[in-house]
Chains A and B, each alone.
Chain A
């Protein structure tokens, strides 16, 4: 494996006694969009969590731009963690109901020590990118729709300009228009930053349209 890429190398993972991934390889090169399909329970989400460095594989390893990653979650250096962003299926579960959309988007910046003023500017810029109007930014998750909340999650995912973006059924709960918009925003970001994108979906038409190549996990 050469060049910039996020890769899972022979990873296995299990929950309790149930093995969900058995020596799986997946390679996402910079600038590439990889589709991932497979029946439910085939370990698609687990693979995404492994690649997002949120879960430790039982065996095998994840490599980020050629370097094998050891450890998981907080054990991974911040600079490495923020190179990979993940977008979940349910934006409600993925956001803190106490925070406003602006705080949700700015949180990764604040957590890594960016001054408030700078974070505010970047939040406004990102909100504009994902198509959130300013009046929505002061609301909390319960007062916006799933589509609007997922846009906020996308803005948060892009806040550190990640080199890789993992979308775990990120548009499954969205209507066609919002889905197309989210995909367009990600596509534009990808072109600009030559980012690697993983799209997990059970919608064959979506993968055919969006991904450069599709990996079936079954």
Chain B
């Protein structure tokens, strides 16, 4: 009962140093997502429109982040770029979660030679540079949103697979699984009722942590010209396009999408880390003592 009381007590919310950071991160993210959602309604953008009379204008009231070498508003395009990046990030992370979750679940529950083969496969893919592999995948397909999602998803499922597998392996030999087997539960029942529910929060966490990775990967592909078609706003495209303006003194053209990328992905990572601290009782216990 004492132990029980203490555990119950630990579930109460309390102010921790991480709390402020999480609030800031949450606000930043909320603003960014809101801007992405509302942008098409509030500030429609013709992606292919250019205005050569307004090239490389410095930041002003009309253009808070200036314009680029084709006279396009940098802030607005950054918001549209973020839309694309987040979209790709979320979908790619989901692709990674599905592949990684399936591979990890197979390896973790079947064990034996299935486990050995799948894990060697994971090691082999992990040995290749992500970006190179991503480029290879995109190069085989036509540049499009779907190709980028696939490229990122197919290269980012490895850690998810490892997490799911190790989690399952450590659960598999716990006495409560023995008790379930002894009580007559079949393989599917053990997997769906006793194993997966414990793994799912972990999987969700891994997937969320994957989003910033995926966003950076997409940016890198676009920067290299392998992402979206050049006229579409994407953070990577914009940073790349801005290089010319940078030499002409228009620093804002690259800086703005770069800053948006860094601030949003950091906020995402911080929020996920905060969530993890709350989710994982082991981490929580360490924080207590």
Q: Please tell me the number of chain A residues within 8 Å of chain B, measured between CB atoms.
A: 33
Q: Are B183 and A160 in contact (CB under 8 A)?
A: yes
Given A107-B180, A143-B8, do A78 and B186 touch, yes or no (CB 8 Å)?
yes
Q: A98 to B187, alpha carbons, bound, how many Å?
A: 19
Q: A112 to B180, alpha carbons, bound, how many Å?
A: 11
Residue B170 at the chain A interface, CB threshold 8 Å: no
Residue A96 at the chain B interface, CB threshold 8 Å: yes
DSSP majority for the B interface?
Answer: helix
Q: Are A78 and B184 in contact (CB under 8 A)?
A: yes
Interface string of A77-103 (1 = CB under 8 A from B): 010011011101010011110100000
Residue A187 at the chain B interface, CB threshold 8 Å: no
Q: A107 to B180, alpha carbons, bound, how many Å?
A: 8
Contacts of B178 in A (CB 8 A): 49, 52, 54, 86, 88, 94
Q: Are A160 and B184 in contact (CB under 8 A)?
A: yes
Contacts of B185 in A (CB 8 A): 107-108, 111-112
Contacts of B3 in A (CB 8 A): 145-146
Interface string of B194-235 (1 = CB under 8 A from A): 100110000000000000000000000000000000000000
Nearest to A146 among chain B residues (CB) is: B3
Q: Are A88 and B181 in contact (CB under 8 A)?
A: no
Q: Please tell me the number of chain B residues within 8 Å of chain A, measured between CB atoms.
A: 24
Q: Are B182 and A85 in contact (CB under 8 A)?
A: yes
Chain B contacts with A in 130-185, Cβ cutoff 8 A: 174-176, 178-185
A-B pairs with beta carbons under 8 A, tally: 83
Nearest to B197 among chain A residues (CB) is: A98
The smallest beta-carbon distance between B205 and chain A, in angstroms, is 16
Nearest to A87 among chain B residues (CB) is: B179
Contacts of A148 in B (CB 8 A): 1
Nearest to B2 among chain A residues (CB) is: A145
Contacts of B176 in A (CB 8 A): 93-96
Residue B27 at the chain A interface, CB threshold 8 Å: no
Q: Are A98 and B182 in contact (CB under 8 A)?
A: no
Given A142-B4, A143-B4, A144-B1, do A81 and B184 touch, yes or no (CB 8 Å)?
yes
Q: Are B4 and A145 in contact (CB under 8 A)?
A: yes
Residue B63 at the chain A interface, CB threshold 8 Å: no
Residue A11 at the chain B interface, CB threshold 8 Å: no
Q: A78 to B190, alpha carbons, bound, how many Å?
A: 13
Chain A contacts with B in 38-96, Cβ cutoff 8 A: 49, 52-54, 73-74, 78, 81-82, 84-86, 88, 90, 93-96
Contacts of B187 in A (CB 8 A): 74
Q: A112 to B185, alpha carbons, bound, how many Å?
A: 7
Most buried by B among A53, A96, A143: A96
Contacts of A98 in B (CB 8 A): 197-198
From B2, B4, B189, B197, contact of A111 by CB (8 A): B189
Residue B23 at the chain A interface, CB threshold 8 Å: no
Chain A contacts with B in 111-153, Cβ cutoff 8 A: 111-112, 142-146, 148, 153
B-to-A contact residues, CB < 8 Å: 1-4, 7-8, 174-176, 178-187, 189, 193-194, 197-198
Return 15 A-B CB contacts under 8 Å, by A number.
A74-B186, A74-B187, A78-B186, A82-B184, A84-B182, A86-B178, A90-B175, A94-B179, A96-B198, A107-B183, A107-B185, A111-B184, A143-B7, A143-B8, A153-B179
* Apart from the given pairs A94-B178, A95-B176, 7 other A-B contacts in the complex at a CB distance below 8 Å: A81-B184, A88-B175, A88-B178, A96-B180, A108-B180, A142-B7, A153-B179
The 7 closest A-B pairs by CB, nearest first: A108-B183, A111-B185, A145-B1, A94-B175, A142-B7, A112-B184, A78-B184
A-to-B contact residues, CB < 8 Å: 49, 52-54, 73-74, 78, 81-82, 84-86, 88, 90, 93-96, 98, 107-108, 111-112, 142-146, 148, 153, 156, 159-160
